[in-house]
Structure 1
Amino acid sequence: MRRPLLVLAACLAAATPSRAATVEVEVDGIEAGGGAVYVALCQGGLSEAACQDGERARASGGRQRFVLRDVAPGTYALAAFQDMNGNGRLDRTPLGLPLEPYGFSGEGGRIARPDFARAAFPVREPGLAIRVRLTRALPPR
């Protein structure tokens, strides 16, 4: 009798949809005259491959709000950048330093990309609000 109860419990657990959360992101430090602002949720790392799910919006003023919906519970980090020249990517020097404003969740005021653990935060239902401040590694050219 115990085995059918375990099978029934497993079936019910599989049939129950996982809850999704909403992550509200406020990006500040946006520079005037720039292009779109990109925000991406990162899972497991901070590489471009790990930061695929996100949104973009035209820069308007020094602050932009994004709402990421239907985010599965888990551990994430946020990466953001302002695409000053409109090419759809974060431009870098030959040494890998960002040429455009960028930022990550977690501690502010850093000059290098943090590791995932320092930028990570848990997402649970119903959701949370995160703030990311854009900075520059180098002065504008």
Structure 2
Amino acid sequence: MPAAAATVEVVVDGADPGTSVSVALCQGGLSEEACSLGQELTARGGTVNVVFRDVPAGRYAVAAFEDVNGNRKLDRTGLGLPIEPYGFSGGVGLKARPTFAQAAFDLREPGTALRVGLARALPRR
């Protein structure tokens, strides 16, 4: 039997209109290597809508960040704290980086829809 495939629809809230938002689908962890399937879109009205199609069923998490300065990476302080707004699936807070298990969801056919809210770990500079 062929592997089941599904659609993941993600709405990211909290971005400044006109900024770039990166949204990644992660499997097995939240590292850059585990989050290899991603899209980058421009926020309209503070929201970005992303659709990942033909995703094999499994356990995933979503990681997103607002690329305020347009350098295509999540900027951090010297201590590793994110400077730009970011968020994860699972409704996890931003007091600390969540584990994959905290942010994960099970994907089955035909798919799922979820929301990710962006927040800042540190005040604007």
Q: TM-score range with shorter-chain normalisation?
A: over 0.9
Q: What is aligned with 2:97?
A: 113
Contact kept? 2:67, 2:73, Cα under 8 Å: yes
Aligned length: 125
Residue 93 of structure 1 and its aligned partner are, at CA, apart by 0.4
**Same amino acid, percent of matched pairs:** 63
Looking at structure 1, the residues matched to 32 and 6 of structure 2 have their Cα atoms a distance apart, in angstroms, of 23
Hey, what does 1:41 align to over in structure 2?
A: 25
The one of 20, 40, 46 equivalent to 2:5 is 20
Aligned counterparts of 2:82 and 2:73: Cα–Cα separation in 1: 10
Aligned to 2:62: 78
Unaligned runs of 5+ in 1: 1-15
Whichever structure has more helix as a proportion of its residues is 1
> Is the 8 Å Cα contact of residues 10 and 116 (structure 2) preserved in structure 1?
yes
Point out the structure with max Rg over C-alpha. 1
In the alignment, the residues of structure 2 paired with residue 58 and residue 29 of structure 1 have an alpha-carbon distance, to the nearest angstrom, of 12
Deviation string 1:57-102 (CA, Å, 9 cap, x unpaired) is 0122111111110110000000000100110000000111001010
Structure holding more strand per residue = 2
CA distance in 2, matches of 1:49, 1:94: 22
The TM-score with structure 1 as length reference comes to: 0.84
- With the length of structure 2 as denominator, give the TM-score of the two structures: 0.95
The answer on 1:57 being equivalent to 2:41 is: yes
Q: Which amino acid aligns with 1:25?
A: V
Runs ≥4 in structure 1, deviation > 6 angstroms? Answer: none
Q: Could you tell me which amino acid in structure 1 is paired with residue 9 of structure 2?
A: E
Kept in 1: contact 2:23–2:65 (CA 8 A): yes
Taking structure 1 as reference, are residues 118 and 108 closer, same or farther at Cα in structure 2, changes over 3 Å only? Answer: closer
- Aligned residue for 2:101, secondary structure, equals helix
| Aligned residue in 2 for 1:132 | 116
Q: Is the 8 A contact 1:40 1:53 kept in 2?
A: yes
Residue ranges of structure 2 left out of the alignment (5+ in a row):
none
